[in-house]
Amino acid sequence: MQLIDRFKSTKLIAWGLVISIISFAGMAMVTFFWLMVIPWVILSFAWGFLYVGCLKFVMERNIEKATSTGILNSSMHISRIIGAFMGGIIAFNFGRLANIYTAALMSSIGLILFFVLLRIVDKKQRNEHNNVNL
């Protein structure tokens, strides 16, 4: 058994988003540029949780593992392009702190959406499973 199998994918994703929010909040409070290293290290752990959790989530819930992983990677690459474009616009118009606040807000919205959509999908799967057993 691999070490990663001990953790649920949903908890990895949730912790990744929570740690991201904490990291972005820390970035907003930094007063000296060298202190920015601390939130970036925390953010790297958050990225690890998110990436591994998402890969595990996709692999567990889909029959077509290569296709679903490819779609996940494609959507992440598109998000990087759109995120860089949006970050540039926000930084140009509102400043550096607005970028950090926006990142924290988007991570919070992502966490909420993740839990809401996960609950909806799980309820739908339970109903389908119950209907099959009837």
The model's confidence at residue 133, banded by pLDDT at 50, 70 and 90, is low
Domain ranges, ordered by start, for the chain: 7-133
Asked if residues 50 and 17 have their Cβ atoms less than 8 Å apart, the reply is: yes
Average pLDDT, the chain: 91
Mean pLDDT of the region 30-52: 92
Dihedral (CA of 44, 49, 50, 54) sign: positive
Mean pLDDT of the region 85-113: 94
Instruction: Please give the pLDDT value at position 102.
Output: 95
This prediction has a pTM of 0.86
Residue type, 68: S
pLDDT digits (tens, 9 = 90+) for 56-91: 999 988 899 999 999 999 999 999 999 999 999 999
Q: What is the CA radius of gyration of the chain?
A: 18
Triad 63, 109, 115: Cα angle to 5°: 45
pLDDT digits (tens, 9 = 90+) for 44-56: 999 999 999 999 9
